[in-house]
């Protein structure tokens, strides 16, 4: 598949999923909290509008899954934004200032790379009770390292490029150099890496939810739904397979999208 | 090379200390001590307990005590398993996890590197497309999805393999957990190998080697393999961390009495000394393996030794 | 029957035909030069012979080597020709040797793959070959990695690898382009000495090399063979206009008019300048002055400190000693702290036009940017008018205004860079290897342009180049640098006719002359430029100097006047 087509297809799927997740619960006659002990573990059917069946408490799984997608996407996007802000600022400062400051800042990043982060996050989640805000911060804090490295490398090489020197020489201000000469050349690669950070963030969030450390009942996320599905899988395989498939599909689309964007970005830079 | 190795080893020590300090601080900053959630204790009992665990000392002193204990392999008493020391608990559960992780990494390297190399050499052919399709799927499906789905089909539905950790020792009970743990790593390493192999095969010195009439097999083996392995080597650090993370899930799903399961239990029991001990052990493991990777990097790439 | 007989060679990439119906014959023991500008299809043709083109290339025609068809042969069949019958040397030995393998291992593998089994004998052959290509201490180089060798030594290893199985034909693709001119002379000599009766296909853009080293020559233009024949005949009477253009554009270091010295008053002077980087001194105590309307050339091999001294002058890197005076005022500190008017008057043009232009900006914004800073009150319309005017002056029409840099050729991009530098009407223009990346004919046009602007506006130019032949036609004065020191400074008239410093003389003797009647000189210098981290004591040139005496090892010579030249040598000519 050409880079361009894979971008369009995956972006199309993601937008569709997001739209259905937004609108679906609103159209459905069910909500995500109401239990119905007369109808637990109903298989998917069109008749009573339990499109994805019901869980062991008789709650509608379609609405719950859509809610899970919303939350997973929300957490991932906000967390990616956190990592974007930290990573770009950190990387750009290190790369632009250079010299000893850069060496020290990157040494720190190298050190953080060696940490078993996820265990710290688990520790954090246990110690400070499950706090929704903390999830964002924790995931963002894990993912900014890659972004910082990439932005720093790019900034460093841009700073040395001759067009920046030419600008310095004519008297272009530092501010204008940063915004006119460096930033526009960073945007492409930053977009690519944000796209690749989102699935990582989804993964961490669902991992935490799976361990029961993420969002709290009756709220839910894809990871939490998979976890619930696992306990029910022998009696109601759909309760595992549907959220698991959607989670994998979303992750795959983001990965393909990021790859496609990167290919296109590389191609443009080579020409 | 010796200088490079020594510098690397020296460089790892502050990292390790920093990690220990961070974990230590985090545990001590956690609201609610280890016993607070249970019942309100009479003041003198609480004092007694605090003294027993040296909680009444200033933090720096506690930290020094902890580090000097560490150096003697003493991780302190467990809060929740009253009669056990943390090192005993870790020693009990670590070997299983290690075996699992090592097998998974070995499998991932073997399959990932071969699949990636073959795909690179057949770039654009159906075999390449198959490997790439597989690895994109592998990267995108989390361990905690793969594990139950495999159990559902291979163990519950088809009954080919045991669903849990049977008492029967051997490959049969290891198979599913190891494969589950290895799958995403196989996928990632295959992609990485393919990309870097293609990159290397396009370098000028490969054209030189081809012009020398060495034959494709020799060109790949003698000239391309080493440089193509560098990105894979760099990925070993994150891969080890990912396998450790994955082992938490895999041990839960398959009911394996390993360190990952111990960690989750410890965390939900608020057994801070245990959790702290496990984080420190994980960190030591990751940092030492990273150190080995770094040194290997110097062996493969003669230019980094001088930096 | 020819050794190599190529007929109707055509190479396509999709709808792009990069080589179109090229015929080529080489007899046993013969030397043939393949010349043309960049992109004319020289390398593609050579790679096709050995079946080394990328997969996407569609190749047709016929390639007979010793009466066997190579086109369409399988990899296994080709492997019996590669190295054994046809050896190949590539342009950049740093890229072409495997950086992860020791030199010895790379050479040994060739012999092992071509049927030699006895390991001890293989090692002995490798060591013998390394000695033969002139590597000092072969045993040590055997265990070295490519990055531990100098550029010249690497190319010697490359040559050893191509000749170790004693092929009948050696293909050398720009084998000396990445090297300094004195080292180029050594490698060309070695090539002559070592090849015995091996036929040679020498690919180059440098007509001087062909004139000195090839009996036959073939001229390519845009994938077409335009002319071929005896080298002497072609040089004396080129039949095709393209050959004539190439010959006209080839600069000669040994003859031709030299600009007479400029008479304007001094506008810029640098005195006692030194530049230090972390662990080395790149420039030591260099002084010179530039007059109004004068072109001063700075020449020297790579690492001699040419760029460092002008960059320090411009305030792009710090001066560790010395001062710069422009129009009677001292220029202090980094460029950011200099006066606006001073920044406006001193401009720079770089070597690589592609990296000198911001890929995200259009030509109009690139060229207009200096106006935004210095003429902030100007209206957009007036700005556009200025931009259009300056573009026209450098020979670019309005069509180029909306283009991005990647939509320009090398020559066009360099014109845009020159337009950006000239739009503020500076007094001094520094050109740092500004024509080095350009093809002969384009280089000529850019030089014409600079000359015209100078005649028009009285611009002063500091022209940095490693190529003395290019410098000859444009500069009023020449400064020669070696390992951070100024070793000779003189008017062009004097320097080119009577060089005083042994290094200047060697540089002049090393430049290949595009004239087969002029006998190619033997390499005048041994060795290569030492590392500036550990410069030799005494005269920095003494390890390579043919005239060195005991005094030179201990006492550094000062610059002094010798018959109109400034020379730093104890024993000037
Ligand atoms: N892989 C390729 N794909 C498409 N065009 C190519 C490729 N390699 C070289 N070319 C084109 O072939 C032409 C001839 O290139 P080359 O033989 O390298 O020229 P020269 O050696 O004379 O400088 C150029 O126009 C170049 O852009
Ligand atoms: S001073 Fe001596 S070594 Fe230096 S250039 Fe003159 S003669 Fe040669
Ligand atoms: Mg070429």
**Cβ–Cβ gap C360/A184 under 8 Å:** yes
C522 secondary structure, DSSP code: P
Instruction: Take atom 4 of ligand 1 and give the residue whose Cα is closest.
Output: C13
Assess whether C271 and C244 both reside in one domain.
Answer: no
**Is C557 part of a structural domain of the chain?**
no
For B302, which of C75, C84, C145 is closest by C-beta distance? C145
For C75, which of B207, B216, B223 is closest by C-beta distance? B216
User: CB contact, 8 Å: A256 with chain B?
Assistant: yes
**Beta partners for residue C478, in sequence order:** C297, C490
pLDDT band at B305 (very low <50, low <70, confident <90, very high): low
Name the domain count of chain C: 2
Question: What pLDDT, on the 0 to 100 scale, is given for residue B71?
Answer: 83
Within 8 A of B223 by CB-CB distance, chain C residues are 98, 101
**Is C533 part of a structural domain of the chain?**
no
Q: How many angstroms away from the CA of A11 is the closest CA of chain C?
A: 25
Question: What pLDDT, on the 0 to 100 scale, is given for residue C495?
Answer: 94
Last residue of a domain, one of C496, C524, C555: C496
Assess whether C311 and C170 both reside in one domain.
Answer: no
Question: What pLDDT, on the 0 to 100 scale, is given for residue A130?
Answer: 61
- Position in ligand 1 atom list of the atom nearest CA C11: 12
**Is A48 part of a structural domain of the chain?**
no
**Is A40 part of a structural domain of the chain?**
no
Assess whether C394 and C474 both reside in one domain.
Answer: yes
pLDDT per position as a tens digit, B123-161: 888 999 999 989 988 888 888 888 888 887 887 778 777
Substitution candidate for ligand 1 out of C41, C45, C55, C203 with most atoms within 8 A of CB: C41
Strands C295-299 and C477-482: parallel
pLDDT exceeds 60 at position B38: no
How do the residues of chain A divide into helix, strand and coil, expressed in percent and rounded to 5? 75, 0, 25
CA-to-CA distance for A83 and A77, rounded, in angstroms?
Answer: 10
Assess whether C164 and C53 both reside in one domain.
Answer: yes
Strands C346-349 and C428-432: parallel
In terms of Cβ atoms closer than 10 Å to its own Cβ (0-12, 13-18, 19+), residue A103 is exposed
Question: What pLDDT, on the 0 to 100 scale, is given for residue B31?
Answer: 61
CB C384 within 8 A of CB C470: no
Q: Is the dihedral of CA A64, A69, A75, A78 positive or negative?
A: negative
pLDDT band at C174 (very low <50, low <70, confident <90, very high): very high
Q: Which residue of chain C is at minimal alpha-carbon distance from B226?
A: C100
Q: What mean pLDDT, rounded, does chain B reach?
A: 84
Q: How many angstroms away from the CA of A173 is the closest CA of chain B?
A: 35
pLDDT exceeds 90 at position B281: no
Question: What pLDDT, on the 0 to 100 scale, is given for residue A271?
Answer: 41
For B213, which of C47, C79, C105 is closest by C-beta distance? C79
> Which domains, ranges and CATH numbers included, belong to chain B?
93-300 (1.10.3720.10)
Ligand of minimum distance to the alpha carbon of C222: 1
Assess whether C144 and C232 both reside in one domain.
Answer: yes
Which helix (H) or strand (E) segment is C58 a member of?
strand C58-65
Average of pLDDT values for B200-212? 94
Interface ipTM: 0.86
Name the domain count of chain A: 1
Average of pLDDT values for A158-167? 90
Last residue of a domain, one of C220, C249, C278: C249
Q: Which residue of chain B is at minimal alpha-carbon distance from C94?
A: B205
Ligand of minimum distance to the alpha carbon of C569: 2
The enclosing domain of C422 has a CATH number of 3.40.50.300
**Is C127 part of a structural domain of the chain?**
yes
Instruction: Take atom 18 of ligand 1 and give the residue whose Cα is closest.
Output: C43
Q: How many angstroms away from the CA of C118 is the closest CA of chain B?
A: 17
**Is C284 part of a structural domain of the chain?**
yes
pLDDT exceeds 90 at position C428: yes
For C369, which of A172, A185, A269 is closest by C-beta distance? A172
pLDDT exceeds 80 at position B163: no
pLDDT band at C29 (very low <50, low <70, confident <90, very high): very high
Q: Given phi > 0 = left and psi -120 to 50 = alpha, else beta, which region is A93?
A: alpha
Pairwise pLDDT comparison (C84 vs A54), residue with the higher score: C84
Assess whether C403 and C454 both reside in one domain.
Answer: yes
Strands C224-230 and C346-349: unpaired
Q: How many angstroms away from the CA of C95 is the closest CA of chain B?
A: 6
**Is A44 part of a structural domain of the chain?**
no
User: What's the CA-to-centroid distance between C553 and ligand 2, angstroms?
Assistant: 9
pLDDT exceeds 90 at position C539: yes
**Is C150 part of a structural domain of the chain?**
yes
Closest by Cα among C153, C279, C300 to C534: C279
Q: Which residues, 6+ apart, have CB-to-CB distance to A232 below 8 Å? A: A41, A55, A56, A239, A240
**Cβ–Cβ gap A123/B26 under 8 Å:** yes
**Cβ–Cβ gap C100/B227 under 8 Å:** yes
Q: What mean pLDDT, rounded, does chain C reach?
A: 92
User: What's the CA-to-centroid distance between C45 and ligand 1, angstroms?
Assistant: 9
3-class DSSP string for C393-421: HCCCCHHHCCCCHHHCCHHHHHHHHHHHH
Question: What pLDDT, on the 0 to 100 scale, is given for residue B120?
Answer: 93
**Is C549 part of a structural domain of the chain?**
no
pLDDT band at A98 (very low <50, low <70, confident <90, very high): confident
Whole domain around residue C239: which residue ranges? Answer: 4-249
pLDDT band at C287 (very low <50, low <70, confident <90, very high): very high
CA-to-CA distance for C164 and C116, rounded, in angstroms?
Answer: 12
Ligand 1, CB cutoff 6 Å, lining residues: C 13, 16, 18, 36, 38-44, 54
Question: What pLDDT, on the 0 to 100 scale, is given for residue C475?
Answer: 94
Assess whether C429 and C454 both reside in one domain.
Answer: yes
pLDDT per position as a tens digit, C84-108: 999 999 988 889 999 999 999 999 9
**Is A188 part of a structural domain of the chain?**
yes
CB pairs under 8 A between A and B: 115
Question: What pLDDT, on the 0 to 100 scale, is given for residue A69?
Answer: 94
pLDDT band at A223 (very low <50, low <70, confident <90, very high): confident
CB A124 within 8 A of CB A138: yes
Going from the C-alpha of A227 to that of each of A136, A201, C165, the distances in angstroms are 20, 18, 66
Assess whether C140 and C272 both reside in one domain.
Answer: no
CA-to-CA distance for A70 and A75, rounded, in angstroms?
Answer: 9
Going from the C-alpha of C245 to that of each of A56, C241, C249, C411, C439, the distances in angstroms are 86, 6, 6, 17, 12
**Is C571 part of a structural domain of the chain?**
no
**Cβ–Cβ gap A252/B140 under 8 Å:** yes
User: CB contact, 8 Å: B170 with chain A?
Assistant: no
The enclosing domain of A15 has a CATH number of 1.10.3720.10
Assess whether C313 and C459 both reside in one domain.
Answer: yes
pLDDT exceeds 80 at position A132: no
Whether residue C544 has its Cβ less than 6 Å from ligand 2: no
User: CB contact, 8 Å: C340 with chain A?
Assistant: yes
Residues C355-367 as b or e (16 or more Cβ within 10 Å = b) = bbbbbbbbbbebb
Assess whether C222 and C171 both reside in one domain.
Answer: yes
Average of pLDDT values for C363-377? 94
**Is C513 part of a structural domain of the chain?**
no
pLDDT band at C81 (very low <50, low <70, confident <90, very high): very high
Whether residue C53 has its Cβ less than 6 Å from ligand 2: no
CB A44 within 8 A of CB A60: no
CB C113 within 8 A of CB B218: yes
Q: How many angstroms away from the CA of C292 is the closest CA of chain A?
A: 21
Whole domain around residue A98: which residue ranges? Answer: 3-29+53-270
Which helix (H) or strand (E) segment is B100 a member of?
helix B86-121
Question: What pLDDT, on the 0 to 100 scale, is given for residue B34?
Answer: 52
Ligand of minimum distance to the alpha carbon of C18: 1
Assess whether C226 and C281 both reside in one domain.
Answer: no
pLDDT band at B16 (very low <50, low <70, confident <90, very high): confident
User: What's the CA-to-centroid distance between A9 and ligand 2, angstroms?
Assistant: 71
**Is A36 part of a structural domain of the chain?**
no
pLDDT per position as a tens digit, C463-482: 999 989 999 989 999 999 99
Assess whether C346 and C453 both reside in one domain.
Answer: yes
Q: Which residue of chain B is at minimal alpha-carbon distance from C89?
A: B208
Full DSSP string of C347-385: EEE-S-TTTTS-TTS-HHHHHHHHHHHH-TT--HHHHHH
Whether residue C191 has its Cβ less than 6 Å from ligand 2: no
**Is A18 part of a structural domain of the chain?**
yes
**Is A35 part of a structural domain of the chain?**
no
**Is A95 part of a structural domain of the chain?**
yes
pLDDT band at B307 (very low <50, low <70, confident <90, very high): very low
User: CB contact, 8 Å: B24 with chain A?
Assistant: no
Helix (H, G, I), strand (E, B) or coil at C564: coil
CA B264, chain centre distance (Å): 16
Last residue of a domain, one of C496, C528, C555: C496
Least trusted range by pLDDT, from A203-212, C332-341, C510-519, C526-535: A203-212
**Cβ–Cβ gap A166/C344 under 8 Å:** no
pLDDT per position as a tens digit, C431-458: 999 998 888 888 898 899 999 999 999 9
């Amino acid at each position: 598949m050409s880079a361009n087509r894979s971008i369009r297809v995956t972006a199309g799927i993601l937008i569709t999923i997001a739209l259905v997740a937004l609108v679906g619960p609103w159209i459905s006659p069910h909500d995500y909290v109401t239990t119905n002990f007369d109808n637990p573990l109903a298989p998917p059917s069109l008749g009573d509008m339990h499109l994805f069946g019901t869980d062991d408490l008789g709650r509608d799984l379609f609405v719950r899954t859509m809610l899970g997608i919303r939350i997973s996407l929300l957490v991932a996007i906000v967390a990616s934004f956190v990592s974007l802000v930290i990573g770009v600022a950190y990387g750009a400062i290190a790369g632009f200032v250079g010299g000893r400051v850069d060496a020290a800042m990157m040494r720190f990043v190298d050190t953080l790379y060696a940490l078993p982060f996820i265990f710290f996050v688990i520790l954090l989640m246990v110690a400070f009770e499950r706090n929704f805000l903390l999830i964002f911060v924790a995931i963002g804090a894990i993912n900014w390292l890659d972004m910082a490295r990439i932005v720093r490398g790019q900034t460093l090489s841009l700073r040395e490029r001759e067009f920046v020197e030419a600008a310095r020489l004519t008297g272009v201000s530092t501010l204008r150099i940063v915004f006119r000469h460096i930033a526009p050349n960073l945007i492409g690669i930053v977009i690519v890496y944000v796209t690749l950070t989102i699935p990582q963030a989804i993964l961490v969030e669902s991992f935490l939810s799976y361990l029961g450390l993420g969002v709290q009942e009756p709220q839910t996320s894809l990871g939490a739904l998979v976890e619930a599905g696992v306990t029910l899988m022998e009696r109601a395989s759909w309760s595992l397979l549907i959220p698991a498939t959607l989670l994998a599909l979303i992750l795959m689309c983001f990965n393909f999208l990021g790859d496609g964007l990167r290919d296109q970005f590389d191609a443009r830079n080579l020409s | 090379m010796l200088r490079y190795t020594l510098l690397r080893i020296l460089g790892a020590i502050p990292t390790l200390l920093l990690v220990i300090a961070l974990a230590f601080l985090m545990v001590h900053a956690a609201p609610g001590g280890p016993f607070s959630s249970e019942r309100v204790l009479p003041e003198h009992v609480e004092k007694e307990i605090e003294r027993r665990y040296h909680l009444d000392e200033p933090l720096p002193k506690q930290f020094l005590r902890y580090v000097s204990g560490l150096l003697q392999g003493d991780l302190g008493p467990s809060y929740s398993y009253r009669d056990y020391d943390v090192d005993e608990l870790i020693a009990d559960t670590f070997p299983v996890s290690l075996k699992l992780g090592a097998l998974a990494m070995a499998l991932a390297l073997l399959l990932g590197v071969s699949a990636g190399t073959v795909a690179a050499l057949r770039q654009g052919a159906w075999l390449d497309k198959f490997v790439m399709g597989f690895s994109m799927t592998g990267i995108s499906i989390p361990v905690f999805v793969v594990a139950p789905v495999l159990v559902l089909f291979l163990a519950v539905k088809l009954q080919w393999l045991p669903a849990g950790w049977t008492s029967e020792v051997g490959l049969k009970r290891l198979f599913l957990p190891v494969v589950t743990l290895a799958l995403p790593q196989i996928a990632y390493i295959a992609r990485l190998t393919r990309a870097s192999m293609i990159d290397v095969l396009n370098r000028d010195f490969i054209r030189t080697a081809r012009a020398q009439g060495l034959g494709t097999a020799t060109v790949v083996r003698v000239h391309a393999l080493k440089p193509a392995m560098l990105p894979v080597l760099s990925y070993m650090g994150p891969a080890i961390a990912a396998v450790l993370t994955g082992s938490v899930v895999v041990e839960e799903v398959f009911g394996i009495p390993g360190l990952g399961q111990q960690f989750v239990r410890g965390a939900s029991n608020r057994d801070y000394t245990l959790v702290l001990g496990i984080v420190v052990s994980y960190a030591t493991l990751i940092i030492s393996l990273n150190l080995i990777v770094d040194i290997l990097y110097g062996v493969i790439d003669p230019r980094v030794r001088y930096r | 029957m020819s050794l190599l007989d190529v007929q109707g060679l055509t190479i396509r990439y999709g709808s792009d035909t990069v080589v179109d119906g090229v015929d080529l014959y080489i007899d046993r023991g013969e030397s043939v030069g393949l010349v043309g500008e960049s992109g004319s299809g020289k390398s593609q043709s050579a790679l096709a012979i050995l079946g080394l083109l990328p997969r996407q290339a569609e190749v047709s025609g016929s390639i007979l080597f010793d009466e066997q068809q190579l086109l369409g042969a399988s990899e296994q069949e080709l492997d019996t020709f590669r190295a054994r019958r046809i050896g190949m040397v590539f342009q950049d030995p740093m890229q072409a040797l495997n950086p992860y393998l020791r030199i010895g291992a790379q050479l040994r593998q060739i012999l092992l793959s071509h049927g030699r089994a006895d390991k001890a004998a293989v090692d002995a052959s490798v060591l013998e070959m390394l000695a033969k290509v002139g590597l000092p201490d072969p045993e040590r180089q055997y265990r070295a990695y490519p990055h531990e060798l100098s550029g010249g030594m690497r190319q010697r290893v490359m040559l050893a690898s191509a000749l170790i199985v004693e092929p009948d034909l050696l293909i050398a693709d720009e084998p000396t382009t990445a090297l300094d001119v004195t080292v180029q002379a050594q490698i060309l000599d070695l090539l002559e000495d070592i090849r015995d009766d091996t036929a040679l296909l020498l690919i180059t853009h440098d007509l001087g090399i062909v004139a000195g080293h090839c009996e036959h020559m073939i001229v390519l233009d845009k994938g077409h063979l335009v002319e071929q024949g005896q080298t002497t005949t072609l040089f004396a009477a080129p039949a095709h206009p393209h050959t004539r253009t190439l010959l006209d554009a080839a600069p000669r270091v040994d003859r031709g008019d030299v600009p007479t010295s400029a008479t304007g008053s001094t506008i810029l002077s640098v005195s006692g300048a030194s530049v230090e980087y972390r662990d080395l001194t790149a420039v030591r105590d260099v002084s010179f002055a530039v007059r109004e309307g004068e072109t001063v050339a700075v020449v020297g091999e790579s690492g001699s400190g040419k760029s460092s001294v002008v960059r320090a002058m411009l305030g792009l890197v710090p001066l560790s000693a010395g001062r710069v005076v422009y129009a009677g005022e001292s220029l202090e500190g980094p460029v950011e702290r200099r006066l606006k008017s001073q920044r406006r008057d001193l401009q720079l043009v770089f070597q690589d036009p592609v990296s000198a232009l911001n890929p995200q900006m259009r030509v109009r914004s690139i060229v207009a940017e200096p106006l935004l800073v210095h003429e902030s009150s100007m209206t957009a319309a007036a700005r556009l008018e200025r931009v259009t005017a300056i573009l026209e002056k450098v020979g670019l029409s309005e069509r180029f205004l909306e283009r991005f840099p990647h939509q320009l050729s090398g020559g066009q991009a360099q014109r845009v860079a020159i337009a950006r530098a000239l739009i503020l009407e500076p007094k001094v223009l520094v050109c740092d290897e500004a024509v080095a990346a350009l093809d002969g004919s384009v280089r000529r046009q850019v030089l014409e342009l600079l000359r015209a602007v100078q005649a028009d506006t009285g611009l002063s130019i500091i022209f940095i180049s490693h190529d003395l032949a290019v410098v000859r036609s444009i500069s009023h004065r020449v400064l020669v640098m070696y390992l951070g020191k100024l070793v000779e400074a003189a008017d062009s008239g004097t320097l080119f006719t009577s060089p005083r410093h042994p290094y200047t003389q060697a540089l002049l003797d090393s430049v290949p002359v595009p004239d087969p009647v002029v006998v190619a000189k033997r390499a005048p210098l041994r060795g290569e430029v030492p590392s500036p981290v550990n410069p030799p004591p005494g005269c920095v040139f003494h390890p390579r100097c043919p005239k060195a005496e005991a005094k030179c090892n201990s006492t550094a010579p000062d610059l002094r006047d010798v018959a109109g030249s400034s020379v730093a040598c104890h024993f000037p000519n």
